[in-house]
Amino acid sequence: MLIVMNHSATQEQIRSVEKAVEAMGLQASPIPGSERTAIGVLGNQGYVDDSTIRELPGVVECIHVSKPYKLVSRDFHPEPTIVEVGPVKIGNGLPPVVMAGPCSIESEAQMLASARVVKAAGAQILRGGAFKPRTGPHSFQGLGVEGLKYLRRAGDEAGLPVVTEVMRIEQLDDVCRYADILQIGARNMQNFDLLKEVGKRRHPVLLKRGMSATLEEFLAAAEYIVAEGNGQVILCERGIRTFEKATRNTLDLSIVPLIRKMSHLPIIVDPSHATGIRALVPVMSKAALVAGAHGLMVEVHPEPEKALCDGAQSLTGEGFATLMGELSGLLKYLGY
């Protein structure tokens, strides 16, 4: 950490800050500049809490050099993480993986139809939501455990591993029983208790970026999971909230190569939630793979116009098959 002092800070103020640093068991190393003094803080193992320093007299700001994550950082762990879900492998150097299926599980028939459609088109993993977070209390809230069973049956029939969201710790046992990947939704990215619990399980985790989470917070959330012993974490960019309302969210695609540079965890992209517009999903899927995404998560519904949730951003089975055909050409171009 670097503590920046006022231009007019007194020697006494500088000395007080040094003392406060030393009281934290750290060393203070003043760096006198032509305009002001800065004080380097040495000896810390990881992130330093600046809250007791920041408001001392003469302090302008505290600048962090260490990050609130380390285990997920490529700087400390250069080797890429490969996440394994049954026969499917996700990570650096491997062909991108497509997870597809409906936003929410509505019936057994719908899941079986969805599974067949996405399997036939070439998807490797089946998705479907049994527990749904919805903005208003009067919307469809998901089928719960019954839905999990439909998902599992559909996955088994099609020979596809399945991923589904877990929203609460109490759901964790059920979700672990029926699903292959535990998805943490954007709204729960900083539900730290939930992160710790999934960190204690052995299932791979799909962690979605919170809609107003910075890259640093995103990686720190993953750190919670890895710190508990579960290193099988897949990150997922799904759009952030900005002033622009023409798309549902703003897909932050530049984060993909940046995460590849900063972390060893695989990063996939969800163009369906990011854009919220069906017509943009195929083109942004391709852009995501070119940007370096290790996979995609795409909403597909056999009959989007009858979907109970997010129909407008779901591809039809036909649309998805067309996309998968196009992706196959793209993968060839990309060398897979």
Half-sphere exposure of 136 (CA within 13 A, CB side): 3
| DSSP reduced 3-state for 178 | helix
Give whichever of 108 and 326 is closer to a second copy, judged by the CB atom: 326
Half-sphere exposure of 245 (CA within 13 A, CB side): 1
Give whichever of 161 and 292 is closer to a second copy, judged by the CB atom: 292
Distance CA 310, CA 137 (A): 16
**Residue 227 makes contact with a second copy by CB under 8 A:** yes
Contact positions with a second copy (CB under 8 A) in 50-79: 50-56, 60, 63, 65-66, 68-69, 73, 75-76, 78
* The two three-digit tokens of residue 219, written as one number: 């990686």
**Residue 124 makes contact with a second copy by CB under 8 A:** no
Residues in the chain: 336
Contact positions with a second copy (CB under 8 A) in 87-116: none
The single residue among 173, 193, 318, 328 that binds a second copy, judged by CB under 8 A, is: 193
Per-residue contact string for residues 169-188; x = within reach of a second copy by CB under 8 A: xx----------------xx
Give whichever of 113 and 330 is closer to a second copy, judged by the CB atom: 330
Start-to-end C-alpha separation, the chain: 43
Contact positions with a second copy (CB under 8 A) in 240-279: 240-247, 250-255, 257-258, 261, 274-275, 277-279
Q: Would strands 2-5 and 59-63 be described as parallel, antiparallel, or unpaired?
A: antiparallel
Distance CA 226, CA 223 (A): 5
CB of 121 to a second copy, least distance (A): 20
Question: Torsion angle of alpha carbons 190, 192, 197, 199, nearest 10°?
Answer: 70
In sequence order, what are the beta bridge partners of 85? 88
**Residue 15 makes contact with a second copy by CB under 8 A:** no
Q: Which of 105-113, 119-127, 156-164, 281-289 is the region at the interface with a second copy (rule: CB under 8 A)?
A: 281-289
DSSP single-letter state for residue 73: B
Distance CA 95, CA 295 (A): 8
Contact positions with a second copy (CB under 8 A) in 137-166: 137-139, 141
Give whichever of 55 and 87 is closer to a second copy, judged by the CB atom: 55
Per-residue contact string for residues 301-330; x = within reach of a second copy by CB under 8 A: ---xxxxxxxxxx---------------xx
Q: Would strands 2-5 and 27-32 be described as parallel, antiparallel, or unpaired?
A: unpaired
Q: Which of 47-55, 82-90, 107-115, 116-124 is the region at the interface with a second copy (rule: CB under 8 A)?
A: 47-55
